[in-house]
Amino acid sequence: MEDNCIFCKIANGEIPSATLYEDEDFRVILDLGPASKGHALILPKSHAANLFDLPDELAAKAMILAKKTARKLQEGLHADGINVVQNNGEAAGQTVFHFHVHLIPRYKGDTVNLNWKPGELKDADKEEILGLFRS
């Protein structure tokens, strides 16, 4: 646990939350500022600021838990879809610096805004990025 981390306190039960699920590694809670009905957060009990700090084993478990929980939320709430979102860094919209996965049920015609305007893949960008992945 990290001092002054609100999600450490919530995940470890020091601060009460609307808990949907808990195991030795994670707590799943309802978001206090939901984007839609059923917006939930998956919180690891151990502190990791973001995805890059999260041990691989927990990253793998988080995705499996996201899959199970997302299915249950979507079916139980009769949602039409669900977004699985995970923000890293302020520029990416992260406001709480303890890794978490958002599960945001979606309903036809809702006003949740996760959209971007498609750009165009530039040749120079493509070459630069492909170069990063060449060995």
Residue 47 interacting with Zn ion (CB under 5 A): yes
Find the part of the chain contacting Zn ion (CB under 5 A) among 4-12, 29-37, 65-73, 104-112: 4-12
Distance of CA 45 to the CA centre of its chain: 14
CA–CA dist 93, 104 (Å, integer): 15
User: Which helix (H) or strand (E) element contains residue 106?
Assistant: strand 101-106
CB of 40 to ligand AMP, least distance (A): 9
Q: How many CB atoms lie within 10 A of CB 34?
A: 15
CB of 57 to Zn ion, least distance (A): 18
The footprint of ligand AMP on this chain (CB under 6 A) covers a number of residues equal to 12
User: Which residue among 31, 59, 74, 107 contacts ligand AMP (CB under 6 A)?
Assistant: 31
100 is catalytic: yes
CA–CA dist 132, 10 (Å, integer): 39
